[in-house]
Amino acid sequence: MKDNQVEGFESRPFQNLQPGAIVPSELLDSICSLSPHKKYYDALAELEIDLARDVLTTLNDASFLLNVKLRFQEQPCFQISLLRELEARELLDKAGIPFGAEQQLINAFTAKVLLEGASAPHEFYFDFYSKLGAPRRIQSIVGLNGVGKTQVMARLAMLMSRFSKQAIKEKRSALQGDDAINPIPSIYGVVAVSFSAFDEFERPTQLQGEKFKYSYCGLQHPRGRLKSKEDLLDEIKTTLVGLSYEKREILKKVLGNLVRIDDLDTFIDEPENNKILYERLSAGQRLALNCVFHILSKIDLRTLILFDEPELHLHPQLLTGLLNTLSEILESQDSFAIIATHSPLVIQQLPMECVHVLRRDRMTPIVLKPTFQTFGESLSELTKFVFSSTEADRDYRSVLDRMYIESNHDIEAVRAIFSNQLSLSADIYLESLREGKAPLQ
């Protein structure tokens, strides 16, 4: 490609040169190249090293010359054409290393997602760089219903994997639209996971999944119905059979976060001989295990897991166990995750810079960062800020307001209704009503 190249055959760098013509030096200075095929770089590696470097330098190869990569990587032609093939993204990071190139993996990027009806795009800055050991492999998108979390996750899946049925039908790149991602991160595969029956992830066929390195795991059965407990159990057994030895070892290390089984080795290595053990699993455990097994079967180095609402169908202990398990798997595979959630339990496990709060003022989307440290914060404080508890949505307090008025402002009478066993928070609020410090609805 050449600098600021636009669409069309006529704009290609060498389009107007005749075979055998000398390429003008000013044209060479304005180009960038990258092969989507490893065999190209393997062939160069068979040459004398200085000659190979001369070829890569003359063609301004982006995998070999870091300054060229930084100059071109956000241009549409680079993202759509040079990185069209998935293998090209990995080659961009690795192909130049045997020739002495400096490797610079991209772990931070900006994603812009324009949802239908919105006046402006949601804009996210995801930074997965680790900071002094703080957990940053998992980021979250949180907010009330209706702000667009599920739609954003579906668009991120498309942007990262480039799998779009509409784009395939129209024979174009999935990046040729209103959404954008800059720069393209060093992520080579995507796994979309959802516990919702109403998620908006696209579902690839097996061949499409292999081509785009994109996999979907959810409640929707390929035949259109919801999966039963038996379906989930069958998938667990089938996935276990296909797991490599290395991934089985990872599973043995992390599975204790989710289930209490005396002999994990037998549970994992002999799925067909442990029917009773498997059938004892609760529906939530089957769902969590199914998800973990699918992720492990599909994850490779530098994969992005997009997880939509993991709290659905899971009790709090199982949810935190699932998060711990996911974190260990990501660490083992140098991979990352973005979680869309309603649960303050998820937010409590993440540093503030990893939390993206979605809000909407009419049709204007807003993406905020917490103003306080979310990691380890109390669930009540997280709920208050992240989910915008308002005076119009005051949970138990609106009930206490009504009871206080109906009892002629006698807080002892209200306490008596609850056998004088109100929680500390409720009792403090009741006292504030008597002192006139809490507004009545």
Q: What's the first-to-final CA gap in the chain, in angstroms?
A: 64
Choice between 363 and 355, residue whose per-residue pLDDT is larger: 355
| Cα 201 versus chain centre, distance | 12
76-112 in b/e burial notation, b at 16+ Cβ within 10 A? bbbbbbbbebbbbbbbbbbbbeebebeeeebbebebb
State the Cα–Cα distance between residues 9 and 209, nearest whole angstrom.
30
Q: Are strands 122-127 and 108-113 parallel, antiparallel or unpaired?
A: antiparallel
- Residue 190 makes CB contacts below 8 A (sequence gap 6+) with 157, 160, 161, 163, 212, 213, 214, 215, 303, 304, 305, 306
State the Cα–Cα distance between residues 178 and 420, nearest whole angstrom.
58
Query: How wide is the angle at C-alpha 419 spanned by C-alphas 414 and 421, nearest 5°?
Result: 90
Nearest to 218 by CA among 195, 190, 242, 234: 195
| pLDDT at 388 (0 to 100) | 61
Q: Are 306 and 190 contacting, i.e. CB atoms less than 8 angstroms apart?
A: yes
| pLDDT at 66 (0 to 100) | 94
| pLDDT at 133 (0 to 100) | 61
**pLDDT tens-digit readout, 186-201:** 999 999 999 887 788 8
Kindly state the percentage of the chain with pLDDT values over 70: 94
* Residue 257 φ then ψ, to 5°: -70, -20
| pLDDT at 394 (0 to 100) | 57
What would the two tokens of residue 384 be?
């208050």
State the Cα–Cα distance between residues 289 and 130, nearest whole angstrom.
28
- Long-range pairs of 206-213 with CB within 8 A, sequence gap ≥ 24: 208/163, 208/168, 211/86, 212/86, 212/161, 212/162, 212/163, 213/86, 213/161, 213/188, 213/189
**pLDDT tens-digit readout, 217-266:** 988 777 777 888 788 888 888 888 888 999 999 998 888 888 887 777 77
Please give the model's pTM, rounded to 2 decimal places: 0.85
Task: Name the CA dihedral angle for 265, 266, 272, 276, rounded to a multiple of 10 degrees.
Answer: -120
- Long-range pairs of 129-133 with CB within 8 A, sequence gap ≥ 24: 131/351, 131/353
Mean pLDDT of 175-190: 90
| pLDDT at 146 (0 to 100) | 73
Mean pLDDT of 133-137: 73
State the Cα–Cα distance between residues 403 and 413, nearest whole angstrom.
9
What region, left, alpha or beta, does residue 146 occupy, with left being phi > 0 and alpha being psi -120 to 50 degrees? left
**pLDDT tens-digit readout, 287-324:** 888 899 999 999 999 999 999 999 988 888 999 999 99
pLDDT at 392 > cutoff 50: no
Q: Are 215 and 190 contacting, i.e. CB atoms less than 8 angstroms apart?
A: yes
pLDDT at 393 > cutoff 70: no
| pLDDT at 322 (0 to 100) | 93
**pLDDT tens-digit readout, 9-31:** 888 998 888 988 999 988 999 99
| pLDDT at 437 (0 to 100) | 54
Query: How wide is the angle at C-alpha 142 spanned by C-alphas 322 and 321, nearest 5°?
Result: 10
Band (pLDDT 50/70/90 cuts) for residue 439 is low
Q: What is the mean pLDDT of the chain?
A: 87
| pLDDT at 391 (0 to 100) | 45
Band (pLDDT 50/70/90 cuts) for residue 382 is confident
| pLDDT at 381 (0 to 100) | 83
Helix (H, G, I), strand (E, B) or coil at 134: strand
State the Cα–Cα distance between residues 117 and 119, nearest whole angstrom.
7
| pLDDT at 379 (0 to 100) | 87
Q: Are 308 and 195 contacting, i.e. CB atoms less than 8 angstroms apart?
A: yes
User: Which one-letter amino acid corresponds to residue 280?
Assistant: R
| pLDDT at 197 (0 to 100) | 76
* Residue 381 φ then ψ, to 5°: -65, -40
Counting beta carbons within 10 angstroms of the beta carbon of residue 415, is it exposed (0 to 12), middle (13 to 18) or buried (19 or more)? middle
Lowest mean pLDDT among 112-126, 166-180, 248-262, 426-440: 426-440
Total length of the chain: 441
* Residue 204 φ then ψ, to 5°: -80, 155
Q: Are 286 and 229 contacting, i.e. CB atoms less than 8 angstroms apart?
A: yes
Write a three-state SS string for 385-409: HHCCCCCCCCCHHHHHHHHHHHCCC
State the Cα–Cα distance between residues 324 and 277, nearest whole angstrom.
23
pLDDT at 423 > cutoff 90: no
Please report, for the chain, how many H helices and E strands are present, in that order. 20, 10
Range among 63-77, 171-185, 382-396 with highest mean pLDDT value: 63-77
State the Cα–Cα distance between residues 153 and 356, nearest whole angstrom.
13
